[in-house]
Structure 1
Amino acid sequence: MSPPSNIVLQDRTAAGRRLVAPLLAYAHRPEVIVLALPRGGVPVAYEVATALDIRLDLLLVRKLGVPSHEEFAMGAIASGGVQILNEQALRAHPIDPAAFDAVVARETRELLRREQVYRGARAPVQLKDQVVILIDDGLATGASMMAAIRAARAHAPSRIVVAVPVGPPETVEALRSEVDELICPIMPEWLMSIGHWYMDFSQTSDAQVIRLLHRAWAKEDCADPP
């Protein structure tokens, strides 16, 4: 079953442009920062941050995939030691503690690797009293975004906004009560998968993430007063 042609997203760049209009109230505001969930959220977030002339940074999150079904999230981890569990997934796919701990260890290593590769020596962003806009390329179970919300909240921002191009209504509603605002233009009753709603959902590479981040950071650094 193909999605209706009028709401198919061409690619992540187009998905980001789809989020610009609903976020116009945050344009040109120095206290606003877009935090992308790598890797797929970075091209989406870059378009938003560029169009609205606001800062761009990262919030590292890793899904904890069920060993027998990697795409099915049994939870997620985020920067700062945040870990959440998807109890429904764990009931459907029971996993012994040792196997679970192995998944957490593996994903923690990858999270730390990405932190080093993407950020290098760049100082962590300060979120206290800032307006944080969390952006990914879509929602499925919502586990990764929930981890990102909790990680961001630990830094006491003044407001948390979630903006994603596509997600199922039940996940959107579950997350809406966790944040100050949630924007999701496409909410199909039958999601199937996030990639189903994109014409091009090819994997975002580390090189793409680094290129977009450095491009955004170069603009910000040039705009900073001496």
Structure 2
Amino acid sequence: MRFTDRRHAGRALARWLRAPTDTAPWPYGAADPLVLALPRGGVPVAAEVAQEFRAPLDVLVARKIGAPGSPETGIGALVGEEQPVFDQRALRFLGLAEDGLASSVARERAELRRREDLYREGRPEPRITGRTVLLVDDGLATGLTALAALRHLRRRQPAHLALAAPVGSRDAVRELSGEADRVLVLHQPDHFRAVGEWYDDFDQVGDDEVIAVLRAASSAA
């Protein structure tokens, strides 16, 4: 299974979530659902899901913490003002300690705040407590960012908390299954290397696109 782009992946995911089966029902038939996207790549995917279910769309900004000298190698993630979540196995393998990563954490937290202000445009954060919340990303590789996001949301006491993605590694799904009520991943290939290999177009989503999608969702609400 391959996707043309994130919008195509979002439509495929939405149809699968809508299907009346035991493997992927959402949103549990509960009132007051909320779709949250992990920006930036999760936003166009989540927009299609929110439209399918006529649910409000918002974002939960999370930031990956990269290894020193290799920023694409994720060793942790953070959400809001909470303490970062680190991959302890990766830290041991690279010979790193959490207290030696303070500058990286500070840099990512500053970027997180910038994006929150930019995307929210003065809107208050959505209420989480007591709601049926579906967190959406464009794919799950290590699952570190999703892990930090799920733990952040769980502390805010949603009635139900699910994570959905068009594609993801089976290891990530297994690791995250204890953090959400449901982990709903449409395609879990036998051989998974990177999220982008399952998309024909996996160009980076820009801030302008995120803002446009959120404005459109807000005006349609």
The one of 19, 25, 29 equivalent to 2:13 is 19
- The answer for the alignment partner of 1:3 in structure 2 is none
**SS in structure 1 opposite 2:188?**
coil
Kept in 2, the 8 Å contact 1:129–1:158? The answer is: yes
The alpha-carbon deviation at position 98 of structure 1 amounts to 6.3
- Equivalent position of 2:155 in the other structure: 154
Summarize the Cα distance change of 1:138–1:50 in structure 2 as closer, same or farther, 3 Å threshold.
same
Aligned equivalents of 1:197, 1:23: Cα separation in 2: 19
* 2:58 aligned partner: 57
**CA deviation digits over 1:68-113, x for unaligned, max 9?**
3222211100124242110111122223556511110110000000
Matched residue, 1:79: 80
Aligned match of 1:103: 104
TM-score by length of 2: 0.92
- Looking at structure 2, the residues matched to 83 and 182 of structure 1 have their Cα atoms a distance apart, in angstroms, of 22
Percent of aligned positions that are identical: 38
Q: Distance in 2 between matches of 1:183 and 1:108?
A: 28
Paired letter, 2:175: A
Amino acid of the residue matched to residue 13 of structure 1?
A: R
Give the distance between the partners of 1:145 and 1:98, measured in 2 at CA.
Answer: 23
The answer to which of 92-101 and 141-150 deviates more is: 92-101
Partner residue, 1:197: 198
Q: CA RMSD in A?
A: 1.6
Gap regions ≥5 residues in structure 2: 19-25
List gaps (5 residues or longer) in structure 1: 1-6, 221-226
Displacement, 1:28? 8.8
Give yes or no for contact 1:30–1:54 (8 Å, CA) kept in 2: no
Provide the TM-score with structure 1 as the length reference: 0.90
Equivalences for residues 75-224 of structure 1 within 5 A = 75-95=76-96, 99-220=100-221
User: Which residue identity does 2:50 align to in structure 1?
Assistant: A
Number of residues of Structure 1 aligned to a counterpart in Structure 2: 214
Secondary structure at 1:183 match in 2:
strand
